[in-house]
Amino acid sequence: MLCAKCGKNQAQKYVCRTQEGEKTAFLCPDCYRRLYGGKSPAGGVQECPSCGMTLAEFRKTGLVGCADCYTAFREELLPTVKGVQGKLRHTGKDPVRTLDDEKRELEAELADARKMGDGLMEQRIRYRLSVIYRLLNGGGE
Amino acid sequence: MTISYESVAVSSRIRLARNFRDYPFPDRLLQTPHAVEQASEMVRIINAELNALEDFELYGVGTLTEERAAYLVERNLISRDLVRHSAISAALISADESISVMINEEDHIREQYFMRGYDLNKAYERITGIDDVISESIPFAFDSELGYLTACPTNLGTGMRASVMMFLPAVSRRGLMKRVAPELKSLGLTVRGTSGEGSGAEGDLYQISNEVTLGLTETEILSAVDNAVKLLVEFELRERENMKEEEGLSLRDKVMRAYGILSNCCILGMKEFMARVADLKLGVALGYFTSEKEAEEMLSELDVHITAMRPANINRLCGRTLTEAEQNAYRAEQTGKFLRKTSIIV
């Protein structure tokens, strides 16, 4: 599902505190931060948009469901990582195939998907790109 | 490398944990309807890359039976956890058994280099080369802050575990392991007995490895493990001399009894076998035996024999599944033959 605000990025399910009480909203993390000032949602992110894992499941098994769980639950996972590892900054080797390589490939695929009018594929690529832009720039496109 | 060093640091292993960006991690993947197809696709890609480099034997998805897996576990080529996901797991093993790549264990890819003797730098160089080749064709799950993303946060960052198997009979039998473990912990390292965590360890064998994987470079991790191994080797050698001096004839008697039993017994269970061979190895390392061969070679042959005498390896050698009693008889017979052949002269 795409973000209800920007309509561009993949949405996550948030439970937000408003003057009227709590309400469920489907927003991307960037729009959520803009609208709610970066405060943690009342119920936290409900589940990973990619694999459906919940935080309760992580607490039970100690394992995350997919790479995107680290984006979806970053705030919640970082204290655990810090507790286990002591540090939060990778200083070791990088993959031969970098995020920049992947970004270039996905942008080309996105152009193809647009030409072909493949909406589903376009949505999937947009979501992957939004994650990559965040990882590369720490923010928007 | 001196004989003393090799008589303590028995084998070296480097393991790198990696994941595909776009697939759920194995535990989650198993819950999806197309798990087997996706796993087969992963295996196909990795198999093609590795076999373009050198010959790898593929133990494919759905074909990793418990018996075959047990054989590979005993040879340090795969972990027991790989069998937990047997519907989607596979392994690729190089012809010389030095490189193994497990697919869909806890992570999608576990690349491992294993070698007898002690050379962590060589082990790392070999496995990082394999990693680079795989990385060219697979978009790894990677985050500039957290490094390689893994199913368990304990493996984030480098995804690297550098471990050394150490034969520590003197330190262990003199009750000094309880001093070693906290020292290692303070250096970001950990020690495990090979038969699990606890006071004793099968065959006086202990595995030293790094605990922290994030926030250090691979070189820093190798250096931390290397420093600890060197200190432990010196400690063990010192304690062996102290043991020899303090226990004198009774220690020699213990070693010779082990030699006598291993050479002549008719039934040999795994537990007794490991304990007696540890006594014998200690005797070889202390210079109680003269031999046409170098003691280093003798110790290495004993380690190979230990692996061959584990249950699933015996079954494989015999071409059928033996009962425990049959295995014990076979182990006794083969160990007697082995010792008569290896020209230990008492």
| Tens-binned pLDDT, residue by residue, of chain B (346 aa) | 456 777 899 999 999 999 998 899 999 999 998 999 999 999 999 999 999 888 999 998 777 788 888 899 999 899 888 888 888 999 999 999 999 999 999 999 999 999 988 999 999 999 999 999 999 888 899 998 999 999 999 999 999 999 999 999 999 999 999 899 898 988 889 998 875 444 468 889 999 999 999 999 999 999 999 999 999 999 999 999 999 999 989 999 999 999 999 999 999 999 999 999 999 999 998 888 866 567 888 888 899 999 999 999 999 999 999 999 999 999 999 999 999 887 565 5
| Band of residue A140 on the pLDDT scale cut at 50, 70, 90 | very low
**3-state secondary structure (DSSP) of residue B178:** helix
**Contact flag A87-B215 (C-beta cutoff 8 Å):** yes
Chain B: closest CA distance from residue A58 (Å): 9
**Contact flag B136-A96 (C-beta cutoff 8 Å):** yes
> Which residues of A fall below an 8 Å CB-CB distance to B?
50-51, 53, 61-67, 70, 77, 80-81, 84-97, 99, 102, 128, 135-136
Residue numbers in B near A63 (CB within 8 A): 25, 27, 106, 151-152
Cα(B20)–Cα(B344) distance, rounded to whole angstroms? 51
**pLDDT value of residue B7:** 87
Please check the confidence at residue A104 and state whether its pLDDT lies above 90. no
**pLDDT value of residue A89:** 93
Nearest CA in chain A to B131: A95
Please check the confidence at residue A38 and state whether its pLDDT lies above 50. no
For the four alpha carbons of B98, B99, B104 and B108, in that order, the dihedral sign comes to: positive
Residue numbers in B near A81 (CB within 8 A): 146, 153, 156, 214
Half-sphere exposure of residue B73, counting CA atoms within 13 Å on the CB side?
A: 19
* Long-range contacts, stretch B150-153, CB < 8 angstroms, 24+ apart: B150/B17, B150/B19, B150/B106, B150/B107, B151/A63, B151/A64, B151/B19, B151/B25, B151/B26, B151/B27, B151/B106, B151/B107, B152/A62, B152/A63, B152/A64, B152/B106, B153/A62, B153/A64, B153/A77, B153/A80, B153/A81, B153/A84, B153/A85
| Band of residue A64 on the pLDDT scale cut at 50, 70, 90 | very high
Measure CB to CB from residue A85 to each of B24, B135, B157 and give the nearest one.
Answer: B157
Give the start-to-end residue ranges of the domains of chain A.
Answer: 12-85, 95-136
State ipTM. 0.84
The four Cα atoms B115, B111, B29, B51 give a dihedral, to 10 degrees, of -100
H helix runs in B8-119, sequence order: 26-29, 35-53, 66-74, 81-84
Q: Of B219, B30, B15, B26, whose CA–CA distance to B141 is shortest? A: B26
**Contact flag A92-B138 (C-beta cutoff 8 Å):** no
**pLDDT value of residue B312:** 95
**pLDDT value of residue B86:** 83
List b or e across B281-316, with b for residues whose CB sees 16 or more CB atoms inside 10 angstroms. Answer: bbbbbbebbeeeeebbebbbebbebbebbbbbbbbb
For residues A61-89, give the mean pLDDT: 92
Measure CB to CB from residue A97 to each of B136, B151, B153 and give the nearest one.
Answer: B136
